[in-house]
Structure 1
Amino acid sequence: MRAGGARRRLADARGRRGDPRGDRAGRPAGVGGSDEPGSRRPSTPRCPARSLRGTSERMRFVVQRHRARRLHYDLRLEMNGVLVSWAVPKGPTLDPGARVLAVHVEDHDLDHYDFEGVIPGARYGAGDVIVWDWGTWAPARTDDPVRAVADGELHFDLHGEKLGGRFVLIRRDTDQRGRGQWLLIHKNDAHAERGWNPENYPRSVKSGLTNDELSRP
């Protein structure tokens, strides 16, 4: 077993961990303490859009394990004042041989970043949600990730508690609902680990809970 894999397993078992940009209570910087999820992107974003070109700002990412009508993982990248989002049915992986479907969905507000809880049955996205991984990310091979997404290919580095290394999102097609069908790929770098399965690391990096434990009355 690689040392990196062992460290990730240990981090998954330890439970609650602080966001590298968070406060001492473990709440991510710039995010309120409410457990209510942020809505889908409104017509007027809560945070003003800003150009990321030419900046060295550390942007956040989060992956939420979401048991809604169907289990999926939500990959969200902070970009221009919102969380640009993809639903990943099988979850992200460090396996460089995997080609994982990622469906480009609507942007979310930044206050969704650390959401963990149970969304009631009548609400959009009803089901239980845990913060499966979080950290920071940086674009690669571009200084304009917004344009890269629009052009259909984004290379980026993740610095999380479970995920790390170079990833690529590539747009392949559009489904019947007009949503972009992308592939999420991990490059064969120092963080790569063949056979790595996200379902082997079920605990939240925020609370240490699994989805089952979170949803118990």
Structure 2
Amino acid sequence: MAPYRVFEEYNIEITDEIKDKYKEVITELGEDVQREGLVKTPERAAKAMQFLTSGYNSDPVEILKGAMFAEDYNDMVIIKDIELYSLCEHHMLPFFGKAHVAYIPNGHIVGLSKIPRVVDVFARRLQVQERLTHDILECLHQTLKPKGVAVVIEAAHMCMMMRGVQKQNSTTTTSGFRGQFEKVETRTEFLNLISANLH
């Protein structure tokens, strides 16, 4: 039996258009696009950029609705340490880190894999960390209609590390809370749990 494989598909016409633009940029930077190491770079970059912004082609609401189940569970559900990779919309340089997401069901739970998928959909767009946090929070809040939602994102930004202030060890934390997580005790429980080393 053949192993499970993931296939990436690209629109040839769009890829060619982006590839041509990358050729122009590389040439304007003073490089030779015919040099051996760069011959295939415009096409690779075109495909990479389409993958890194593929979130524009996915509907996070439909992802959640496709895996919602009626369940009488009323306690906190936490998915922590969700890896995320995104592009800063200001310089189109990466920022990366972890998202911690929790919700308190209100008659429905959602398949656990769907929350990381929602994080990926919003991360794979040109973003700022503050809006990324808000997008994930509001999508879960509006779609699941839970008793509460919490999102915390910790990320390092290459635009701060490679250029500008060049602070290699700085990280940025953003958070958002709705419903029961606006209560101090619930929010504190969540923050303690994502900080604990439970495994």
Q: Which has the higher contact order (CA 8 A, sep 6+)?
A: 1
Q: Do the two structures share a fold, i.e. TM-score over 0.5?
A: no
Larger radius of gyration: 2
TM-score, structure 2 as length reference? 0.30
TM-score, structure 1 as length reference? 0.28
Q: Which structure shows the bigger proportion of residues in helix conformation?
A: 2
Q: Which structure shows the bigger proportion of residues in strand conformation?
A: 1
